[in-house]
Amino acid sequence: MAEMYQVLSPLFGFIMLAYVGYCFAKEGTHSRGYGWQTKEEAPKTFIINQTLYTIFAVILLVSPLVTSILKE
């Protein structure tokens, strides 16, 4: 089970980073209840979403490395 976590966690991290890149390129974000909104329509939502997605993606990418170091 640990091997699956070590593979899937970075995979989902890269997927999230790809979505962050897509949102930056298209200058918008998906907002629950409102659908796709541009950066000009909802600037706070855009910044908050991009920040949270980036933080979560980095955590997903780094966590297998940290757990493998802590096991040793």
Question: What pLDDT does 51 receive?
Answer: 96
Confidence check: pLDDT of 26 > 70: yes
Confidence check: pLDDT of 39 > 80: yes
Q: What is the mean pLDDT of residues 3-22?
A: 90
The Cα 47–Cα 29 span in angstroms is 9
